[in-house]
Amino acid sequence: MSQPALHVDVYQTISPEALAGLNNGKVAVVTGAARGIGKAIAISIAKTGANVALLDLDAERQADTKAECEKVGVKAFAYACDVTNHDVSKQVYAQIQRDLGDVHIVVNNAGGNSRRPAHMETWEQFWRGVEINVKGALIWSLLVLPDFRARRAGSIINIASRAGTVTMPFAAAYSTGKAGLIRFSACLQAELDQDGFGDDIHVYALHPGAVKTSMTIPIADDVAKEYPGMAEKWGNFHKLFRCVPEVCGQTCAFLSTGRGKALHGKYFDCEQDIGTVVAAGREGLEGLYDLKVEFLGGLPNDGGTVSSSALEKA
C-alpha cells in the first residue's frame, strides 16, 4: 500500500467546499477556541453548517473567533470555562444546551506546553501541565457521552500531539497528558464498539501537524541559559514548522461529518492525506495509527504469562 501524501495547506478532500452543509442543524463545542489551532477548528466546523459553542478561559478573548463563525451564517456563543474544572464545565454544558440545543460534536483542543524540564517546575506547575492536556478532554468527553449514547450519535475529536508518541525532553507533563489522551480515545472507542455504538459514535485523537503557535515559540530564557544546546536545537526545529492551522481545522471538520470512521479510535497526523488513509478501510489500518510497544525477539505484549505458558507446553 502506498504512503499517503503530506499536506501543509488545505487540500480538496477536506476543503470547505467539499464539506459545506454536511453539519447543518448540529451543534459543536470547541475548547481552547480563542486563537491558533482552536480558532481554526471552530471556523472550519462552522463552515460545515454547525452552530458552535466556543470555550476558553475568557469569553472576551474569543470575540474574533465568534465573529468569524457568525460570518458564515451560523450561531456562535462564547463561554468562559476552565475545562479542567468539572463543576464549571457541567454548568457551561447545561448553558450550551439551553442556548443552542443538543450537542453533536466536541473538539477537545485546549492544551499547553511549558517547554521546561521537570526539575525546573514546581509540582503545581507540572501537574497543571498534565491536567490541561488530558483532564479537560476527559471531563468534556464524559459529559457528552451519556447524551451521545442515548441518541446513538456523536463525534469526539481530541487534539493530541506527536509528543504523546515519542520521547521528548522538556515536555514531560505535556507528553504525559497527550499520551494519555491518545490511549483514552482508543479505549473509549473500544467500549463504544463493544456496546454496538461503533457506527454511530466515533472518537479520534489527532496530531495537528507542525503548526507554529504560542506553544512552539522559543523556550524560556532561564531554561535556555541552563541548556543552550537544547535551546538552539529547538529553535532550528521550530523553523521547519510550516503547516497552517486550517489543515487541522478542516481535518476536524471532515471527521465531524462522519466521513472518516475508518479512523475511529485511532491516532492520526493531520498532515497526512486523510482520503488515502480512510480508503484503506478498517482492515487496511489494522495495527496502524495506534500506540504500541515492541519487545526483543518479537515477544508479544501480552503481559508475559501467555507466551510463558506456550513455551512451557512446547
Are 16 and 47 contacting, i.e. CB atoms less than 8 angstroms apart? yes
Contacts of 7 (CB under 8 A, 6+ apart): 243, 247, 271, 272, 273
| Spatial distance between the Cα atoms of 37 and 46, rounded to a whole number of angstroms | 14
51-56, strands of its sheet edge to edge: 76-80, 51-56, 27-31, 105-108, 154-159, 201-207, 267-269
Cell 487534539, located at residue: 159
- Catalytic residue (choose from 79, 93, 174, 204): 174
C-alpha cell at 134: 488530558
Amino acid, single-letter form, for residue 155: S
Residue 174 annotated as catalytic: yes
- The full length of the chain comes to 314
- Sign of the torsion formed by the C-alpha atoms of 2, 180, 245 and 282: positive
Q: Which residues are catalytic?
A: 174
